[in-house]
Amino acid sequence: MKEQNSNNIIKFQKQIHFNVGIVICFIILIYIIFHIFTYLTKDNISIYEVTQGSIATDYDYTALAIRNETVVYSDRDGYPYYYKSNNSTVGSKSIVYAIDDTGDIVNALNSNTTDTTDLSNSDLSEMENSISTFMNGYSDTDFQKIYAFKTDLTDSLTELYNTQAIDKASSDIAAAQAADTYHPYTAQEPGLLEYYTDGLEGLTVDSYSSENFDTSSITKTSLKTSEKITAGSPVYKLITSDHWNLVIQIDDELAEKLANTSALEIKFDEDNAKTWTTCSIEEKAGNKYLVLGLDDSVDRYAEYRYINIQLLIEDKTGLKIPNTAITQKKFFTIPKSYFYEGNDSDDKGVIIKGNENAGLVTPTIYYETDDYYYVDNEYLHTNDVLIKSDSKETYTVGSETATLDGVYNVNKGYAVFKIIAKIYENNDYSIVESGTDYGISLYDRIALQGDKVQENDIIN
């Protein structure tokens, strides 16, 4: 019985159960790994938003200042006393200094104590206005201006104190003058007063040479001293004209660039002030020089023989884009006479003569001239033959091509080539025209790495 039952047992093969969930998870895993690998290995494209901007090409130079300068010398021995502060404007009747034979009056004047309570209301008001003007125009970015202001304020106060000291000692001064021991001197001619010499006071735009540009060879000597001087010693100098010149050595490239330039804007490094100058190019002993002519600012930089300036040769404004975004694309140039507008569409199309691409196509137009449209190879191919409407004339695509500069616009998430028209460029940026047909506009988003992008690439 048992043997019979065992013979009736039917053995079934073990079934393999297909788990759909595991398969789906496996597919998702492969998908994720693929995208992670693609992300890690592909070129990462950065996005740049087009802005309005400008590029100024700055040429930095140390310029030699040439002015109409007259050095005045003492005609006697004695102790000098200076009535005017440095950088003062004086008239021909202004007393600039005096020579005291004995030194008694000078000692009395120098020892006279004064303070701001001795200043008149008008003097105080003038000082307050000067301070207020400086504070209103002050910026932390131009902190160096505070030192120049401090010097100007100190000189102004010193001159006011000197005036008060002279008023207080007027009777002693009158007695010394009567005794012929105190001798005031007025300015020989109107001008700007300076109390230093450097040996280049006689320099003119005709007499300078390459040696004059060696800044280390010049020694600046202060003339304002309380010690006894001898006859023939320099006591001050006058700058007698508002017209002055700045001269710089330049290379052949800049000389050629400025050959037809008669006016040039410059910026002074001292205070970032800008001004316009006349300019001319001269050649001496094989060296080229740029001679700048100015009719202002002589008082602001009178204490410097060498002045650091920038030549603002280019200052262009437009849409500012990084040069890394700029790339090139090759186009077919198709005569406009082969394009026409069909039916109710404004799109311009061409007819391709019978082949596998035959029929009407409307290629994307990237640029145009008076006679040609520029299209790419998305819809047209080399050796396609175009038929002119109502004519037997044909045109072979690819017979004429052109390469244009542009950037890839990614406003819609994919790359679209846009033509640019450069106005100016330097090593990092280009200024391009705005509002051009087929071009870019302000705030457009473009691919920063133009050489790594192709038309219609998806840009995330």
pLDDT given for residue 278 in this prediction: 96
pLDDT given for residue 231 in this prediction: 94
Its pTM surpasses 0.75: no
Looking at every residue in the chain, the average pLDDT score rounds to 85
Query: What residues does each domain of the chain span?
Result: 73-200+211-232, 323-452
The amino acid sitting at 89 is: T
Residue 360: which pLDDT band, with cuts at 50, 70 and 90? confident
Structure tokens at 399: 């017979």
Higher pLDDT, 316 or 60: 60
Higher pLDDT, 418 or 164: 418
pLDDT, tens digit (0-9, with 9 covering 90-100), for 147-196 = 566 666 666 666 666 777 777 777 888 888 899 999 999 998 999 999 99
- DSSP class of residue 458? B
The amino acid sitting at 296 is: D
Long-range contacts of 253-256 (CB under 8 A, 24+ apart): 254/59, 254/290, 255/281, 255/288, 255/290
Residue 317: which pLDDT band, with cuts at 50, 70 and 90? confident
Lowest mean pLDDT among 1-10, 316-325, 338-347, 407-416: 1-10
Higher pLDDT, 284 or 159: 284
Helix (H) or strand (E) segment spanning residue 264? strand 263-268
pLDDT, tens digit (0-9, with 9 covering 90-100), for 95-152 = 999 999 998 888 888 776 555 555 566 666 666 666 776 666 666 655 556 656 666 6
pLDDT given for residue 13 in this prediction: 57
Structure tokens at 299: 């008082």
pLDDT given for residue 449 in this prediction: 92
Question: For strand 348-352 and strand 359-361, is the pairing parallel, antiparallel, or unpaired?
Answer: antiparallel
What percent of the chain is predicted at pLDDT more than 70?
A: 80
pLDDT given for residue 156 in this prediction: 63
pLDDT given for residue 341 in this prediction: 79
pLDDT, tens digit (0-9, with 9 covering 90-100), for 47-95 = 999 999 888 776 899 999 999 999 999 999 999 999 888 888 899 888 9
pLDDT given for residue 44 in this prediction: 75
Higher pLDDT, 23 or 268: 268
- Residue 389 has phi, psi (to 5 degrees) of -60, 135
Alpha-carbon span 70 to 189, nearest angstrom:
10
pLDDT at 209 over 60: yes
| SS3 label, residue 293 | strand
CB contact set of 296 (below 8 Å; sequence gap of 6+): 242, 275
Other CB atoms within a 10 A radius of the CB of residue 458 amount to: 9
pLDDT given for residue 146 in this prediction: 65
The burial of 230, by beta-carbon neighbours within 10 Å (0-12 exposed, 13-18 middle, 19 or more buried), is given as: exposed
pLDDT at 204 over 90: yes
Residue located via tokens 């002119």: 388
Tell me the β-bridge partners of 274. 267
Alpha-carbon span 342 to 365, nearest angstrom:
16
pLDDT given for residue 359 in this prediction: 78
The amino acid sitting at 285 is: A
